A and B are shown apart, each in its own frame.
Chain A
């Protein structure tokens, strides 16, 4: 048994349909448990967990100390009441969390699945599924465990899955069973299947599986392509059978959901440091007082023995001092009150709720409210300096719209109405019953041109309807659904459809379209598929008349050089149009065609076949063959597709950069696309002095490029004094850096990263393109390491998860792609533009509130506790408390907790619209101005000052004072009541001064706290309680005896004035001489109630006029803009997937392709240098930069 167990660590053996055999290995069953407790274990386990918190253990330790009578300077309940309160609040929270986990566990574990047992299908709960079982899945069902696909109802054992829950990708993936098992169609055959799978042990690699199937003395290799993972959903497949390989906790889904790293805010870290310092301070005070005790006991106490002998175990002053040290640790422990941590949590929870409740962060289109998924990071939102953003789905909607086109030198789509009237959307239905009603186009001229029968226009749309790899599905007559691999293609085919060239269906050899109402079937001779090097795709079709034609669309850079020389004039016009489109941030494509004679076709066809069959360098040979035929084409025109930005993205980015937040875009897209988006969302502008492009492939070239960027920047800064003024407008110069993934890999190496960071951080905008998810995280880590700045990562897809997890704050865009990013995030909302409100309003407020809260909290506890220190010098260092024990118990949890909580939750300095109007208001947070070590020292100095006043003023007044009936006031109880009352009043006045925003709650809590102090004090000093517990309520009558004395009130008033006046004077001076922006704004509001006019200023700078953009547009015209992948063309011509297209594809069409990772991976495995195009492009740019800097 030991042997088998050991082996199961290295490999897993699963025998189908043999539970007895598999039980030997004791594999985990399919029951998942995410809950932590059950009813019995809750109390011990939860308490054990809670006491692992240092603070809780510390208070437990104090509690134990208090049980020693020689040490105990306080009653046991002064510590146990707050501790019990804290523990029970946390326990209740944990219990509710766990209850919901139990509920969801139960729901998942009780899902039904069909298991093949003894030859028949039986319904079983998920949790009873065992490793080695064969289960049947039906369409749209969740996969219950990690399965080896055995057979499916589809041909070739194919089945389709959606992996959104697993990796966030919403496109469907194909899985295929091993061919031998694919033939085991029905349950009877499967029941007798007794293959054995030997595979790797459970791991968390979603894209890898390695195993072998042994069946009938033969070995079959298994890969990830044969696996259905838990969390996936079966789509477009009637049913399939799978063998359970990993179950429950062993599944890749569960293996991936490890414990998340607990994020702490910088305030948290600062707070922990400060708490440590305070502990040190506490020990120092303890030592000072213990030394004092030793001296006192030796000099005075030993002589005083006749009245006050030592407690029995104490026999010398040293021992007494030792005990006194611990006694003082107990009574002075309130400098770090246990309620600090709870209060901080409560305030953060409140802020989180405000985020959840914010209507201005609610997206009504997708019915999603903002959600703060962690409640511990809010104030960090007010300190963000770097934002790392994903592009697709975050900045852009990932929706492509056919926006403009140029046909035969005529541009369409530009609707310029000087009056700015809303242009009318074209209605296609009367002209074309097959039109897609969702399609938007505004330019009537194009429709006219089609109707008139312009040959070029017809040919243009014919090309769009033929040259693509889109699949169509026609559920009922005229109700067409296109399933495009990339949204760009979908947009083009839909455009053609609306303009009368409807793509209806395809077979491996034909394409059927409806051209201007007439059904035409073309025979499809060849698809010259897209790839990243070719940057174009073509089809060769034969029309019913027998004419053979090659239609090609592709990046203008590659296509324009393949045109027939006679196109020169048209080419230059179209080129101008392309520049215009590119300047508008549109993705452009050029279209061309070529008629082929039968002979040409035959000849080429032969060479193509030859290349296709070649075993070595097939790819290269095919490319050469394609290249041969794609020559001498005639230009038809160009299309421009808008990659729609999310609403308000340019404004948000402008606003955030005014708030001194640097935005880096990290995208998997190509450089051209990324740069395009950079321009369209105003991250890059034509005003920029320089855009550095780093695209080197080797360490040396990257280093050189970085260095030249530095040199260039220096020259620019030194040379242009005229621009200095202009520079002040921008936050960090007008440079931008664009770096591609492979260069980034070098830049992130240890010896270059500092150089990279310094260059990149000097740039206003940084765009990293073609980066892998891992690199995204590395970049974030790099900034975290080198800049000590707060970072925020925002993204929507699974590829952003690593970056979201490693940034200080992760934000997920919900409702777009899968929910992986949201699950990993700390905050989620539906639109990128909500980020400005999250940071500038909620973050800023949270930071402000937390800082004010902490300042006040430390102040009030020092003011409270240090009084004991001073009293120590007058009571023989005996650890006698100044206050009543009940006051000590209640001070932090009743008398002073709510006003400061109310301030921490509700305080505002400027209203929300102001923080959006004046992004500069965000700066104090980034610079850490409101709560830092200096502020902390100011608070505790103020606290210590207050404690001095609170002790020595009553001391000086009361020591000689008497009541009006002659009874001295200097008794201990009167002194205690006076000091306590003065303390409560002083800290209440202080919170009143600190509160900047008096809502009804603040009033209630501040007045209520003072009221409750007096009420509770009178109750505790009442006769009733004394009669029941005479030894606990010794202060009977003190309240009324003391508070009726005018001298006492005069003392309290004096102490309050002495405490508050200096504070008031300092604050006034600070406000008068060094006003912060927020102070000025608040005052401004007083003077000019409607003074919004100044605030609008930034908006002007934010929206750069469209016209100016054209000036330098040529340099950034997009190349082939497809986020495209190769491989589908072959699938179409082979006909393998034809059933797929005829099946229910309903979900498919609406999904966006985001499987660029897949492409990237494939590239890597093929050992072709990744993305050559980028490098040559950047090479050109690089030489341009050198030229410029030389000039």
Chain B
């Protein structure tokens, strides 16, 4: 930013004005334009923080937040939620054996059952979630370890996945590209949860779990697409690729029963691929549709959760949960929001009162104050 102070033009800049013989036309009037912009006289609104504006604002915020908070809190309290931890940490828990005897290459799945009782009936649609704790889906290396191009069905990426997928890019033995590649896909949650209702008469009936409609519409229909031609067999379309290392079955066998839910567009897979923001998270697993008649979707009583225990979490102190929840207009159970609104609203109101008192006590002076000169 150094500049030479010498400017050759200036060498005669002054002279041209003062020389007597250089009278070429009338000198240009250099008076600046009289515009509001240039003279900094633009019309403007000058808001001032006065007692007349600030104090009402506090009261208005307070009066708005408290009712909203109460509404939220009541809504949240009406939502029913039930949570079962089936990790199997304690020796007396039903899944203790499965959790402890787990090996990656065991061929026979370990099954355990957890019994629990719902004291209240669950109305309307009930949503079933699996929850994981201490699972870092938001780790930078984990988050980036995917190839959205491949998941979008781009053929070239299918056979040549992005480098971001390393070390889950190609199968170390066959050297075939992995589809879907990357650490996220590789660690797909693969426990199977089934729910049985123990009727009071002693019979058990299986609760119907709907496995579609659990992913974002855009994910299901835009972001994830199977590669290749729709007419071809899905197996054909994934030919030449290897399954992820941890998977028991290849991607085209995720849901052989429903071609609209198989391959990359399998919703369980899509839900897993939408990584969580925090190390403790829940993901939507199944939906229990409300019954056409007016009976509750899940009546109160005993239930049996049958778990096919495939997913090891004990090595990193993880926890696995199954959550059943109803839903309101504002989503699931969320007491924090209501309490926070009530708190903030009250604080605002209180602040408003305090400031009003302070203002009345001290403002007399500044009202009548002369401006010091």
Q: Is chain B a partner of chain A in the same complex? A: yes
Q: Is A413 an interface residue (CB 8 A)?
A: no
Within 8 A of A (CB), among B307-357: 312, 315-317, 325, 327-334, 336-337, 340-341, 344, 347-348, 351, 355
Q: Is B25 an interface residue (CB 8 A)?
A: no
Q: Pick out which of these stretches binds chain B: A99-107, A401-409, A417-425.
A: A99-107
Q: Is A714 an interface residue (CB 8 A)?
A: no
20 further interface pairs, Cβ-Cβ under 8 Å (given A304-B315, A998-B46, A1031-B149): A34-B7, A97-B3, A100-B9, A165-B15, A256-B6, A259-B3, A311-B166, A358-B32, A376-B1, A819-B10, A875-B139, A878-B138, A962-B325, A967-B284, A999-B44, A1036-B222, A1046-B329, A1047-B330, A1061-B351, A1081-B371
**Cα(A1027)–Cα(B221), bound, Å:** 12
Q: Are B331 and A73 in contact (CB under 8 A)?
A: no
**Cα(A525)–Cα(B206), bound, Å:** 139
Q: Are A998 and B45 in contact (CB under 8 A)?
A: yes
- Which interface residue of A300, A310, A1051, A1098 has the most chain B CB atoms within 10 A? A300
What chain A residues lie within 8 Å of B214 (beta carbons)? 966-967
Q: Are A1051 and B337 in contact (CB under 8 A)?
A: yes
Q: Are B355 and A367 in contact (CB under 8 A)?
A: no
User: How far apart are A934's CB and chain B's nearest CB, in angstroms?
Assistant: 21
**Cα(A1069)–Cα(B332), bound, Å:** 40
User: How far apart are B163's CB and chain A's nearest CB, in angstroms?
Assistant: 8
Q: Is B281 an interface residue (CB 8 A)?
A: yes
Contact with A along B14-37 (1 / 0, CB 8 A): 110011110000010111111000
Q: Is A254 an interface residue (CB 8 A)?
A: yes
Tally the A-B contacts, defined by beta carbons under 8 Å: 364
Q: Are B139 and A823 in contact (CB under 8 A)?
A: no
Q: Pick out which of these stretches binds chain B: A130-138, A189-197, A969-977.
A: A969-977
Within 8 A of A (CB), among B220-265: 222-223, 246
User: How far apart are A838's CB and chain B's nearest CB, in angstroms?
Assistant: 14
Q: Are A875 and B332 in contact (CB under 8 A)?
A: no
Q: Pick out which of these stretches binds chain B: A271-279, A572-580, A738-746, A953-961.
A: A953-961
Within 8 A of B (CB), among A980-1013: 995-1002
**Cα(A803)–Cα(B175), bound, Å:** 78
Between A and B, 14 residue pairs with Cβ closer than 8 Å are A142-B11, A307-B135, A354-B40, A819-B13, A823-B10, A961-B337, A968-B276, A970-B278, A1000-B43, A1031-B147, A1050-B68, A1057-B344, A1057-B348, A1086-B50
Q: Are A880 and B341 in contact (CB under 8 A)?
A: no
Contact with B along A1018-1052 (1 / 0, CB 8 A): 00000100110011001011001100011100110
- Which of these, A257, A362, A876, A1073, contacts B6 with CB under 8 Å? A257
Q: Is B5 an interface residue (CB 8 A)?
A: yes
Q: Are A1094 and B371 in contact (CB under 8 A)?
A: yes
Contacts A142-B12, A956-B336, A1084-B371 given; does A1054 touch B39 at CB 8 Å = no
Q: Is B74 an interface residue (CB 8 A)?
A: no
What chain A residues lie within 8 Å of B21 (beta carbons)? 140
User: How far apart are B229's CB and chain A's nearest CB, in angstroms?
Assistant: 18
Within 8 A of A (CB), among B177-202: 183, 186-187
- Which of these, B31, B58, B317, contacts A1061 with CB under 8 Å? B58
Contact with B along A730-749 (1 / 0, CB 8 A): 00000000000000000000
User: How far apart are A796's CB and chain B's nearest CB, in angstroms?
Assistant: 12
Q: Are A359 and B337 in contact (CB under 8 A)?
A: no
Residue on B with the closest CB to A959?
B278
What chain A residues lie within 8 Å of B347 (beta carbons)? 1061
Contacts A998-B44, A1037-B222 given; does A964 touch B344 at CB 8 Å = no
User: How far apart are B65's CB and chain A's nearest CB, in angstroms?
Assistant: 7
**Cα(A1040)–Cα(B352), bound, Å:** 37
User: How far apart are A961's CB and chain B's nearest CB, in angstroms?
Assistant: 5
- Which of these, B61, B140, B330, B351, contacts A1046 with CB under 8 Å? B330
**Cα(A1001)–Cα(B152), bound, Å:** 44
Contacts A878-B139, A959-B278 given; does A964 touch B327 at CB 8 Å = yes
Contacts A369-B30, A1036-B223, A1061-B351 given; does A300 touch B162 at CB 8 Å = no
**Cα(A140)–Cα(B329), bound, Å:** 90
- Which interface residue of B1, B21, B29, B275 has the most chain A CB atoms within 10 A? B1
User: How far apart are A659's CB and chain B's nearest CB, in angstroms?
Assistant: 11
User: How far apart are B74's CB and chain A's nearest CB, in angstroms?
Assistant: 14
Contacts A34-B8, A104-B8, A1054-B337 given; does A1037 touch B72 at CB 8 Å = no
- Which of these, B48, B154, B166, B362, contacts A1082 with CB under 8 Å? B48
Q: Are B2 and A262 in contact (CB under 8 A)?
A: yes
Q: Are B5 and A824 in contact (CB under 8 A)?
A: yes
User: How far apart are A651's CB and chain B's nearest CB, in angstroms?
Assistant: 16
What chain B residues lie within 8 Å of A105 (beta carbons)? 8
**Cα(A1147)–Cα(B219), bound, Å:** 85
**Cα(A496)–Cα(B143), bound, Å:** 96
- Which interface residue of A69, A953, A962, A1082 has the most chain B CB atoms within 10 A? A962
- Which interface residue of B44, B222, B287, B372 has the most chain A CB atoms within 10 A? B44
Show the binding face of B for A, using Cβ within 8 Å.
Answer: 1-15, 18-21, 27, 29-34, 38-40, 42-51, 54-55, 57-58, 61, 65, 68, 72, 104, 125, 127, 129, 134-143, 147-149, 151-152, 154, 162-164, 166-167, 183, 186-187, 213-219, 222-223, 246, 274-284, 287, 312, 315-317, 325, 327-334, 336-337, 340-341, 344, 347-348, 351, 355, 358-359, 362-363, 366, 369-373
What chain A residues lie within 8 Å of B142 (beta carbons)? 307-308, 878
Contacts A300-B134, A1077-B371 given; does A997 touch B125 at CB 8 Å = no
Contact with B along A294-330 (1 / 0, CB 8 A): 0000001001101111111000000000000001000
User: How far apart are B318's CB and chain A's nearest CB, in angstroms?
Assistant: 9
Q: Are B65 and A303 in contact (CB under 8 A)?
A: no
- Which of these, A259, A879, A1023, A1046, contacts B2 with CB under 8 Å? A259
**Cα(A258)–Cα(B5), bound, Å:** 7
Q: Are B281 and A968 in contact (CB under 8 A)?
A: yes
Residue on A with the closest CB to B152?
A1030
Q: Is A231 an interface residue (CB 8 A)?
A: yes
**Cα(A140)–Cα(B3), bound, Å:** 30
Contacts A967-B214, A1061-B344 given; does A1050 touch B127 at CB 8 Å = no
Q: Are B48 and A140 in contact (CB under 8 A)?
A: no
9 residue pairs, one from A and one from B, having the closest CB atoms: A1037-B218, A257-B6, A104-B9, A975-B277, A878-B140, A357-B38, A966-B127, A880-B140, A962-B332
Q: Are B355 and A1065 in contact (CB under 8 A)?
A: yes
What chain A residues lie within 8 Å of B325 (beta carbons)? 962, 966
Q: Are B216 and A1037 in contact (CB under 8 A)?
A: yes
User: How far apart are B341's CB and chain A's nearest CB, in angstroms?
Assistant: 6
Q: Are B371 and A964 in contact (CB under 8 A)?
A: no
What chain A residues lie within 8 Å of B138 (beta carbons)? 874-876, 878, 880, 972
Q: Are A34 and B4 in contact (CB under 8 A)?
A: yes
What chain B residues lie within 8 Å of A311 (beta carbons)? 141, 166
Contacts A140-B19, A307-B186, A960-B332 given; does A1058 touch B344 at CB 8 Å = yes
**Cα(A474)–Cα(B91), bound, Å:** 124
User: How far apart are B282's CB and chain A's nearest CB, in angstroms?
Assistant: 5
Q: Are A1023 and B7 in contact (CB under 8 A)?
A: no
- Which of these, A1050, A1065, A1083, contacts B341 with CB under 8 Å? A1050
**Cα(A256)–Cα(B366), bound, Å:** 58
Within 8 A of B (CB), among A872-902: 874-876, 878-880
User: How far apart are B183's CB and chain A's nearest CB, in angstroms?
Assistant: 6
- Which interface residue of B32, B68, B279 has the most chain A CB atoms within 10 A? B32
Q: Are B282 and A968 in contact (CB under 8 A)?
A: yes
Q: Is A1080 an interface residue (CB 8 A)?
A: yes
Residue on B with the closest CB to A302?
B316
**Cα(A1058)–Cα(B61), bound, Å:** 11
**Cα(A140)–Cα(B162), bound, Å:** 76
What chain A residues lie within 8 Å of B6 (beta carbons)? 34, 253-254, 256-257
What chain B residues lie within 8 Å of A963 (beta carbons)? 331
**Cα(A514)–Cα(B316), bound, Å:** 117
- Which of these, B72, B136, B336, B337, contacts A308 with CB under 8 Å? B136
Q: Are B40 and A908 in contact (CB under 8 A)?
A: yes
